[in-house]
């Protein structure tokens, strides 16, 4: 978005307790296009990953994933989806494209009720 302000705390500014991430103010610029279609990893590969990582992840389908946004965090690009695990807990799955082109898929239950941006920040600094 034009005029979107970036707020990216440093690793030193992060709390020691992940639950405290929910209090961090963070904002990232979006990629253009800001869509799941621009993701370098196909959605079926994301679902394959979730099948291995999420308890009963084999029950998840494309319809269960809700694309939220993209983000550019200091040259590392993110795509994030929200979903409910088959057990009912809310979770996020991210695709990250490092500056060297390497892609990484990550997932975690949203235990701390983080915003999408806070979750991306935690992913970027590898606190999960």
Segment 16-30, tens digit of pLDDT? 788 888 999 999 999
- Give the count of alpha carbons within 13 A of 34, CB side only: 10
Percent of the chain scoring above 70 in pLDDT: 97
Question: Per-residue pLDDT tens for 2-13?
Answer: 456 788 888 888
Q: Taking the model in full, what pTM does it have?
A: 0.92
102 to 6, 47, 117: CA distances (angstroms)? 24, 19, 21
Please give the angle made by the CA atoms of 94, 98 and 102, to the nearest 5 degrees: 90
């Amino acid at each position: 978005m034009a005029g979107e302000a970036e707020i990216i705390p440093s690793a030193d500014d992060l709390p020691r307790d992940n639950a405290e991430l929910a209090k961090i103010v963070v904002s990232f610029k979006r990629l253009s296009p800001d869509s799941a279609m621009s993701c370098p990893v196909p959605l079926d590969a994301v679902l394959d990953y979730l099948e291995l990582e999420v308890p009963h992840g084999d029950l998840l389908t494309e319809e269960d994933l809700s694309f939220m946004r993209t983000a550019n965090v200091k040259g590392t690009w993110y795509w994030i989806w929200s979903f409910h695990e088959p057990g009912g807990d809310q979770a996020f799955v991210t695709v990250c494209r490092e500056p060297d082109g390497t892609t990484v898929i990550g997932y975690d239950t949203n235990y701390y009720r983080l915003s999408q941006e806070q979750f991306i920040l935690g992913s970027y600094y590898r606190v999960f």
